[in-house]
Structure 1
């Protein structure tokens, strides 16, 4: 599939003490006042109501700590509105900042292709869930059933995770071969087997790895396994089970869990 060009955009906003002084819109209003000498004409020029214009001016004057806009005394021309020296300076400086900001975005945009992948990764890492184990992969196979679908997810390390989900969930997520999805498995749903000795198990998912971390608590122990390809999987077992299995860093064990224990999702 052809890559779509990615561009970066952004706006400059000014704040005072955490309060919003304004951005390009309010600066345009100030510039229009300087050009028109009339709040009425300036408001029309920037497509703003007269009241909204004065509300914005009052807010800017208050936040700036000194007037940016002032009224002129009435006379033959009926008076008017103009920028103070501070107001003119603010408009000029904002224009300079906008130019520098645009140049910065152009420079950053030249690296956008590489940045885009990292932004997607950051979004995935920002996902919050109670499930200890989170795996991202692509749907390798989907078997439709009368009520439930069996979905096989291929992980980057070559492992496969099988999940059983309702057809309604499968349809709403848009699952199908090639679709990117993530699997969530609670650590408490995982059973560890140190030596199967040829035994067979009904659990569809069996991921073998080496123990890299053992954290013992008052009642339970958290065991983390390193999987081929760089992934990890964590299991919570009782302290007694950990002791009887002689779980230690370097031990080779297999993490097993039912397909019905897997929750599937798709990136937003």
Structure 2
């Protein structure tokens, strides 16, 4: 009878915020390369990933962080680039310390568990997964109940606020209350964009920012709007709309979102 292979105690160390993946070894390594290179493009090349994948990871981290981890620098001898903030450097240092303690914990566990080679399944943390492209962390700052629905305002910091209309039953199920930490989820297809910041429309939410990137597609196009605090809102619009409205990087724009299209989530 062949000798059974010995299983090794291993695991990945991730930090989540309200059920969303925030920091892992790969993302931290990307941040370290950005700090060394001063460029997301060069950092992505070192990591063997595409520029878009690297930017998406940076946006996800910035959107979930209390402060931006990465910012763009303009001008200077090198013509600008991408910089890690002091807060970003502190986050890296803290992650590396916790990661080292995590490795020591796994080593102690492996040494203390007998017949570990017979263990076939390990419990895994259950993370909230969603198809919504835009995810922002905030706190409930206003809550008004009506006969059927409730109006909820979430403060996302840096002057950013978002209104959501949810059922009273959802308020009870989620335990929403003033000060409650809440995740705001918005599908990119629900985001309307306008170059006219004074446009009058019934959409309750208006988020102002600067177009950072435009990715044309055969049918639909992706437009990324940089909001205050380094957060990024992604919108999917038709190719015809992109041609008509003429969005280009650096242009000011307004994102319009109906309160009924905003999804709220908690992870208690």
Normalising by structure 2, what TM-score?
Answer: 0.55
- Alignment partners' CA distance in 1, 2:173 and 2:259: 19
Aligned length in residues: 160
Consecutive unaligned residues of structure 2, counting only runs of 5 or more, are 1-100, 119-124
Distance in 1, matches of 2:199 and 2:247, equals 20
**Which residue in the other structure is 2:226 paired with?**
226
Do 1:157 and 1:230's aligned partners in 2 also have CA atoms closer than 8 Å? no
**Residue pair 1:211, 1:252 contacting (<8 A) in 2 also:** yes
Aligned to 2:260: 260
Q: CA RMSD in A?
A: 2.6
Offset, 1:172: 1.0
Mapped pair 1:205 → 2:205? yes
Match of 1:140 in 2: 141
Report the Cα distance in structure 1 between the residues aligned to 2:204 and 2:109, rounded to whole angstroms.
54
> How far apart in 1 are the matches of 2:151 and 2:109?
50
Find the aligned partners of 1:209 and 1:24 in 2 and give their Cα distance. Answer: 54
In structure 1, the partner of 2:112 is 24
Gaps of 5+ in 1: 1-6, 15-22, 27-55, 61-122
State the shift of 1:158 in Å: 1.5
Task: Quote the Cα distance in structure 2 between the aligned partners of 1:235 and 1:142.
Answer: 27
Q: Deviations over 1:60-87 (max 9, x none)?
A: 9xxxxxxxxxxxxxxxxxxxxxxxxxxx
User: SS where residue 229 of structure 2 aligns?
Assistant: coil
SS at match of 1:169: helix
Q: CA deviation at 1:25?
A: 5.1
Question: Could you tell me how far apart the structure 1 residues matched to 2:266 and 2:128 are?
Answer: 11
Please list, as runs of the form range in 1=range in 2, the aligned pairs for 1:115-264 lying within 5 A after superposition: 127-196=128-197, 198-264=198-264
Q: Distance in 2 between matches of 1:25 and 1:234?
A: 47
For residues 129 and 253 of structure 2, the distance between their equivalents in structure 1, rounded to whole angstroms, comes to: 28
Report the CA distance shift for 1:199/1:10 in structure 2 as closer, same or farther (over 3 A): closer
The answer to whether the Cα contact below 8 Å between 1:133 and 1:187 also exists between their aligned partners in 2 is yes
- Structure 1: distance between partners of 2:250 and 2:227: 12
Q: CA deviation at 1:195?
A: 1.5
Structure with the bigger RCO (C-alpha within 8 Å, sep 6+) is 2
Larger radius of gyration: 1
